[in-house]
Amino acid sequence: MEIIEQQQNDAWIFRIDGRLDSNTAPDLETTVVKAIERGARNMVIDFESLAYISSAGLRVILKTAKDLKRLDGILVLCSMQDYVREVFEISGFDTFLPIAPTAGDAVRQVSRKPE
Amino acid sequence: MGRHNICFQLRNDLSELETLRTELERFKADADIPEKTLLEVNLILDELFTNVVSCGFRDAEEHWVKITLCREGNVLTLCVRDDGVPFNPTALHDPDTCCPMEERRIGGMGIFLIRRLTDEMTYHRTDTDNIVTLRKNLH
């Protein structure tokens, strides 16, 4: 599993290439924690290249959303493939995590700051 | 309509999730399983396997988790067998002594997903082994 990092203004974008399972999820957690330490607050996780996710992946996503929220930041997910979307729906995670159709939409969403 | 079977073993190490994936790819081709169903089956077996690896053993020994899949008509039967500590995923709560809080939350979500993706899950314990059998109807 590879994570490709990009920044656009104050948005930090992580594209995951591969699979998020109990074996690979710790790498995502480490990456996100380090980014937050470096000041990331407006984060996008792009799932365009993610074929598969298990509960271990969901747990890291949830933790990331909580950590950012506590710091007045925001996490938006985007570009989910059908199966990944299904897992978010079955687990109910889609009811409280913002999911955008494209990375462009997601970046716009995290960059809009309420006054 | 034929009957398609596959059996394989995974070592109690999370890196074996890759082996699980390749075995399932083989099964998909043999048994003509739709891609989405295969991903769901992968998830079901992944969650059970992860629970076994995380919580199943108190020693540092190598253990083998045996997995079988069978397609007969439109019914898929999965079986996961391990020789770890007694662990019944069909029970509402994990045993207290099983895992620290963190991992139990993972287990909870994993079992929940499995229940939503299968039509039946049963558990049997022998003297030494846990045997979880699942049925998934294909549509």
Domain ranges of chain B: 3-137
Please state whether A92 falls in left (phi above 0), alpha (psi between -120 and 50) or beta: left
Assess contact for B42 and B24: CB atoms under 8 A.
yes
The pLDDT-based confidence of B139 (bands split at 50, 70, 90) is confident
pLDDT in tens, A34-76: 999 999 999 999 999 999 999 999 999 999 999 999 999 999 9
d(CA B136, CA A30): 36
Report helix, strand or coil for A22. Answer: coil
User: What are the domain boundaries of chain A?
Assistant: 2-103
ipTM: 0.92
The residues, ordered by sequence, that sit 6+ positions from A8 with a Cβ below 8 Å of its Cβ are A107, A111
What architecture is domain A2-103? Answer: 2-Layer Sandwich (3.30)
Interface residues from chain B to A (CB-CB < 8 Å)? 14-15, 17-18, 21, 36, 39-40, 42-43, 46-47, 50, 53-54, 105-106, 109-110, 112-113, 116-117
Q: Domain B3-137: give its CATH code.
A: 3.30.565.10
For residue A60, give the amino acid letter: V
Q: Are strands A11-20 and A42-46 parallel, antiparallel or unpaired?
A: parallel
Lowest mean pLDDT among A20-34, A92-106, B92-106: B92-106
Show residues of chain B in contact with A56, CB under 8 Å.
50, 106
pLDDT in tens, A81-103: 999 999 999 999 999 999 999 99
For residue A15, give the amino acid letter: R
pLDDT in tens, B16-25: 999 999 999 9
Show residues of chain A in contact with B18, CB under 8 Å.
23
A4 forms beta bridges with A15
The pLDDT-based confidence of A109 (bands split at 50, 70, 90) is very high
Assess contact for A62 and A70: CB atoms under 8 A.
no
The pLDDT-based confidence of B41 (bands split at 50, 70, 90) is very high
Q: Does A63 touch chain B (CB under 8 A)?
A: no
Residue A111 tokens read as 């960059």
Q: What is the pTM of this model?
A: 0.91
CA distances from A66 to A63, A100, B35, B135 (A): 5, 18, 33, 36
- Nearest-CB residue to B113 (from A23, A83, A91): A91
Q: Are strands B3-11 and B75-82 parallel, antiparallel or unpaired?
A: unpaired
Q: Does A92 touch chain B (CB under 8 A)?
A: no
